[in-house]
Amino acid sequence: MASTSSGDVLVLGVLLGVAAADVTIGVVGVAAGLAVLGRWGTSSLAALAGGQAVVGAAGVTGPALLAASAWCAAAALALAAPRRPVATVAFGLAAADVVAGPAALSSGGSQLAIRVAASLVAVLLAFFVATSIPPRLARVAALVVAVAAPLLVLMAP
């Protein structure tokens, strides 16, 4: 879904929870989706791709609280990554999408490079978290950071 920019970010959050087979992780995914919805005014992945293609990557544009919200949502998704390789890649790519935008293949030049780099870093971070941090601690941290993401959107001017 995220790689093709089709679908809904809230559905993607639920599917990440199903992939992890954990309700807490599903809550993390939906909270990250709510942060995206609050920032962009839509839960459509296609609209998210378009918005970030025009305005710029969510993690570095706009008011500081909104940028921080994007980073919190991405961190929550990376912290929620399960220990299964395919699922870990999915969580890493979802985290990169929140910060740098989906649909890397439809972007031009420097935006493509930013999105590829963000995807690589996020996937590597998700693998690090999945293999180095105890799962219970990672889940609690993911939940705390995920709740902070939509709260930051609400506090933004």
What is the rounded CA–CA span in Å between residue 35 and residue 154?
Answer: 9
Task: Give, as one character, the DSSP assignment of residue 44.
Answer: B
Q: Label residue 2 by pLDDT band (50, 70, 90).
A: low
Domain segments of the chain as ranges: 9-155
What is the rounded CA–CA span in Å between residue 72 and residue 112?
Answer: 22
Chain mean position to CA 35: 9
Q: Side chain identity at 127, as an amino acid letter? A: F
Residue 58 confidence (pLDDT) above 90: no
**Length of the chain (residues):** 157
**What global pTM score does this model have?**
0.87
What is the rounded CA–CA span in Å between residue 151 and residue 58?
Answer: 16
The most confident of 15-19, 43-47, 64-68, by mean pLDDT: 64-68
3-state DSSP assignment of residue 137: helix
What is the rounded CA–CA span in Å between residue 124 and residue 128?
Answer: 6
Only one residue has tokens 């990557």, namely 57
Residue 77 confidence (pLDDT) above 50: yes
b/e per residue 13-23 (b: at least 16 CB within 10 A): bebbbebbebe
What is the rounded CA–CA span in Å between residue 104 and residue 35?
Answer: 21
Residue 104 confidence (pLDDT) above 50: no
pLDDT of residue 105: 46
Chain mean position to CA 32: 6
